[in-house]
């Protein structure tokens, strides 16, 4: 098993070797701007007066779109796993296809079926991709994607749904600007003492993270961050609700204050509680958070927090996710596990 070496987070040669991953993370805001510009014309042609009976979203980020729309959408909205559409979907409904990469066979099937049934379609996919080609019809609006970034595809799709009167107001430039600020704060050239992502990676270096987000969007960000932490470290990382996390925290073995940390086996890892907070709370969530923090304190489990409580729903989600992805990247750097970073970081 490889030990975390914190010097790697400040070593210029190591950080330069990690440039492809860190550069992709830093470009998140720019990718939203690229996709927003590409989607400007087709979005301007959308007609709010043509209201569908229901909205059915398919694709890897369909649940994120549903979470953004549900509070304000005037018609029923659902995220569907596919590939076959629900039997009741027809010409009165809008099918939203999120295919940032454009080649997913299940989405090709879903788009083809929506065309066959005469549905309205809103498709985010690369031009000339299998998904784009299979979705062509007189009732299709294609938002041509150029960056293969799922979050950027969601951003322009949500903006298009607002133009249809189905989603909240979105300022994509503010989202892009917030991601630019995360890139500045978490830059590899910002040292450990001032870099929140490096500090978070160091806090999780010898642990098995437990990630919790209270709201619907924070919980979704927690699942994505846990996926990134698993890929970065090759260790378990769990994201679930407070009720499921409590037994893991309370079962943690008591820490021996007199133990020599250098004598502990490298496989003997304690949990670490990572809280993602977006400012949306109610009494139930507040109680769950206090219970988690109290249990962690009683079990001497380290607790870390990432907070973003300003901005739109999409902005808060994007910032929580991006800070988590930066922390995962620095965890991979410290563990020297940069051979195969995920392509969608």
**Of 124-138, 216-230, 260-274, minimum mean pLDDT range:** 260-274
Over the chain, what is the mean pLDDT?
A: 93
Cα 134–chain centre separation:
27
What is the CATH topology of the domain spanning 6-18+188-334?
A: Rossmann fold (3.40.50)
Instruction: Tell me the pLDDT tens digit for each residue of 219-231.
Output: 999 999 999 999 9
CA–CA separation, 214 vs 208, rounded Å? 20
The domains of the chain are located at 6-18+188-334, 29-171
CA–CA separation, 316 vs 289, rounded Å? 18
- DSSP for 69-99, please give it: HTTT-SS-EEE---SSPPTT--TTSEEEEE-
CA–CA separation, 229 vs 211, rounded Å? 10
Whether pLDDT at 260 is above 80: no
What is the CATH topology of the domain spanning 29-171?
A: Rossmann fold (3.40.50)
Q: What percentage of the chain carries pLDDT values higher than 70?
A: 94
- Give the model's confidence band at 83: pLDDT under 50 very low, under 70 low, under 90 confident, else very high: confident
CA–CA separation, 224 vs 324, rounded Å? 9
Mention every residue, 6+ apart, whose C-beta is less than 8 A from residue 155.
Answer: 32, 35, 36, 170, 172, 175, 314, 318
Quick check: do 6-18+188-334 and 29-171 share a fold? yes
Yes or no: say if 217 and 316 are a contact pair by the CB < 8 Å rule: yes
Instruction: Tell me the pLDDT tens digit for each residue of 312-323.
Output: 999 999 999 999
Strand order in the sheet with 302-307: 238-239, 207-213, 270-277, 302-307
Q: Compare 241 and 257 and report the one with higher pLDDT.
A: 241
pLDDT of residue 298: 94
User: CA angle 131-142-315, nearest 5°?
Assistant: 100
Kindly provide the b/e burial profile for residues 307-340, where b requires at least 16 CB atoms within 10 angstroms of the residue's own CB: ebeebbbbbbbbbbbbbbbbbbbbbbbbbeebee
pLDDT of residue 341: 55
pLDDT of residue 127: 93
- Give the model's confidence band at 281: pLDDT under 50 very low, under 70 low, under 90 confident, else very high: confident
- Give the model's confidence band at 265: pLDDT under 50 very low, under 70 low, under 90 confident, else very high: low
CA–CA separation, 257 vs 277, rounded Å? 31
Whether pLDDT at 266 is above 60: no
CA–CA separation, 329 vs 155, rounded Å? 23
Whether pLDDT at 340 is above 80: no
**Of 123-127, 273-277, 292-296, 336-340, minimum mean pLDDT range:** 336-340
């Amino acid at each position: 098993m490889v030990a975390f070496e914190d010097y790697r987070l400040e070593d210029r040669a190591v950080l330069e070797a990690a440039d492809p991953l860190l550069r992709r993370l830093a470009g998140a805001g720019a990718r939203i701007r690229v996709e927003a510009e590409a989607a400007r014309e087709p979005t301007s042609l959308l007609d709010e007066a043509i209201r569908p009976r229901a909205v059915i979203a398919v694709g890897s980020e369909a649940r994120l779109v549903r979470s953004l729309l549900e509070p304000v959408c005037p018609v029923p909205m659902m995220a569907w796993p596919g590939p076959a559409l629900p039997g009741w979907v027809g010409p009165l409904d809008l099918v939203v296809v999120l295919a940032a990469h454009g080649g997913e066979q299940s989405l090709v099937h879903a788009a083809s079926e929506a065309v066959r049934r005469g549905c309205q379609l809103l498709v985010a996919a690369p031009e000339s991709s299998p998904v784009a080609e299979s979705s062509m019809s007189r009732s299709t609006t294609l938002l041509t994607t150029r960056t293969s970034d799922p979050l950027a595809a969601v951003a322009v799709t949500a903006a298009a749904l607002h133009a249809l009167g189905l989603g909240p107001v979105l300022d994509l430039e503010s989202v892009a600007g917030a991601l630019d600020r995360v890139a500045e704060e978490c830059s590899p050239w910002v040292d450990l003492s001032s870099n929140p992502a490096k500090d978070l990676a160091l806090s999780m270096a010898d642990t098995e993270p437990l990630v919790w987000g209270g709201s619907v969007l924070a919980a979704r960000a927690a699942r994505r961050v846990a996926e990134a932490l698993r890929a970065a470290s090759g260790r378990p990382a769990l994201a679930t609700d407070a009720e499921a996390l409590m037994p893991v925290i309370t079962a943690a073995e008591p820490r021996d204050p007199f133990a020599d940390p250098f004598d502990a086996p490298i496989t003997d890892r304690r949990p670490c509680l990572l809280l993602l907070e977006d400012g949306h709370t109610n009494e139930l969530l507040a109680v769950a958070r206090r219970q988690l923090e109290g249990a962690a304190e009683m079990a001497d489990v380290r607790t870390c927090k990432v907070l973003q409580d300003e901005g739109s729903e999409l902005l808060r989600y994007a910032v929580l996710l991006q800070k988590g992805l930066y922390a995962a990247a620095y965890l991979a750097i410290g563990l020297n596990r940069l051979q195969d970073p995920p392509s969608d970081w």
